Amino acid sequence: MKLNKIRNIEIAKEKYEWVNDVKIKVDYKKWVEFIDNNQDYFIWDENTKSGIHLRENMDKVPKNFRVPLSSISKTKAHSNYNEKEEYYETRILYHKEFGIIIIKFENKPKRRDVEIFIEMAEYLEAYLLIDGTKIITREDLDNGEIV
């Protein structure tokens, strides 16, 4: 598998064909810990320029259209800020309903990107997956299976 082919990966406690088949959820608190402990790589959505703007202007949104801040707090993170284009190239979402983490790359991920998500999966005692079925391991990187 070539890195330039990877755009979406997931972290889950088990392989799956359909996301609604997932029975064991990734521990949300441990995920928050991992992001908090790796702030040199990740930023919480609420700490980005757009997240701060949303929080500061929430009272201007009609009440029936407001999303509770607690429902968006620490469910999304970003990495790889592109200063020229002013956006984050990697988005990470903890999907509370299914208990999986969805990672989306706007551009070809670098080896370090895949390494940190392998670290995250190991920390969460879960798998780093492509399409819910193919496990990516540190050995895959070291053996050159993912280049």
Handedness of CA 115, 7, 133, 76 (dihedral sign): positive
Instruction: Please identify which residue in the block is written with the tokens 């929430």.
Output: 58
pLDDT per position as a tens digit, 88-117: 999 999 999 999 999 999 988 988 999 999
Has this prediction a pTM greater than 0.85? yes
Instruction: Please identify which residue in the block is written with the tokens 């402990």.
Output: 37
Count the domains in the chain.
1
CA 6 to chain centre: 14
**Shortest CA distance to 125 belongs to which of 98, 109, 142, 101?**
101
53 assigned to some structural domain? yes
Structural contact between residues 26 and 19, judged by C-beta atoms closer than 8 angstroms: no
Q: What's the domain range around 134?
A: 3-142
80 assigned to some structural domain? yes
| Candidate from 6-15, 106-115, 137-146 with smallest mean pLDDT | 137-146
82 assigned to some structural domain? yes
30 assigned to some structural domain? yes
CATH code assigned at 68: 3.30.1400
147 assigned to some structural domain? no
115 assigned to some structural domain? yes
Instruction: Please identify which residue in the block is written with the tokens 């972290």.
Output: 11
